[in-house]
Amino acid sequence: MPALVPDSSSDALSGGRITGYVLGGLGAGSLIAGAYLGGVAVAKREASDKDCPGGLCTPDGFRTYEEGRRAATAANVTIGAGLAALGVAVIIVLSTGGSRPSNTASSLGSPGPRALARSRR
């Protein structure tokens, strides 16, 4: 009778899965960095609004506005790259799932004659 315990070598991560997990981690880190940069952009925008009454900015207000605009652009790019990395990571991990032995009855083969004889009683 075949053993129901999977071969330990089938549990090892393949190179593709490791790549997927690393890429997923980088994607998640990019999303966190993008969220932080988005927060900086909002804070800079609010700060520049105080120094730009009526749409006319002081030199400090304009500088703060430009810093916020750069932070917003960086946030958009970083979040986009993070989402792309996560998408690719999911595809890699799912497509390199490997084949693990199944513990279903069909994988154990057909029952022997004694099992069939017992089931008819």
Q: What is the pLDDT of residues 9-55, one digit of tens each?
A: 555 577 888 999 999 999 999 999 999 999 999 999 999 988 888 88
| Model confidence pLDDT, tens digit, residues 60-115 | 999 999 999 999 999 999 999 999 999 999 999 999 876 555 555 554 555 555 65
Q: Answer for the pair 47, 60: CB distance below 8 angstroms, yes or no.
A: no
Please give the model's pTM, rounded to 2 decimal places. Answer: 0.66
pLDDT at residue 20 in the model: 93
**Residue 9: CA count within 13 A, CB half-sphere:** 0
Of the chain, the end-to-end C-alpha distance in Å amounts to 22
Given this model, what pLDDT does residue 54 score? 83
